[in-house]
Amino acid sequence: MHELAITQNMFDIVLKKAEQVHAKKVTKINLVIGEMTGVVSDSVQFYLDFMTKDTIAEGAVVSIKMVPAQARCRNCNRTFEMQEYDWTCPNCQGNIIDVIAGKELFVESIEVD
């Protein structure tokens, strides 16, 4: 639902960079998004298509690298991928964990002509 705000922020970053490097056209936007953010990639593309009309990014394709939610167990230090219904350490069944990946939300790069 917050894809509109996220896409707007992303678009601002992309346009600023494209202007800095005097790009004629932005063809691709590479994003890194953590699974836990709940960002829906189809919505990002949908909003972007609206926002980029009549800009140098018109027609740009969004490519999203999804990062799975990962945790580290404080008890045994094991790193594991969290499943939706189970955040327990598969090694020692410990319950105290630190989330170490899955909250990412950044523009990795753009591809320009």
Per CB under 8 A, the list member of 42, 58, 91, 109 interacting with another protein is 109
How far from 60 is each of 33, 36, 83, 86, CA to CA, in Å? 18, 25, 33, 38
Determine, following the binding rule CB under 8 A, whether residue 97 of this chain makes contact with another protein: yes
Determine, following the binding rule CB under 8 A, whether residue 1 of this chain makes contact with another protein: yes
The DSSP call for residue 35 is: G
Pick the piece of the chain touching another protein (CB under 8 A) from 8-16, 49-57, 58-66: 8-16
- Distance of alpha carbon 61 from the chain centroid: 14
Show contacts with another protein in window 73-92 (CB under 8 A).
Answer: 74, 82, 84-85, 87-88
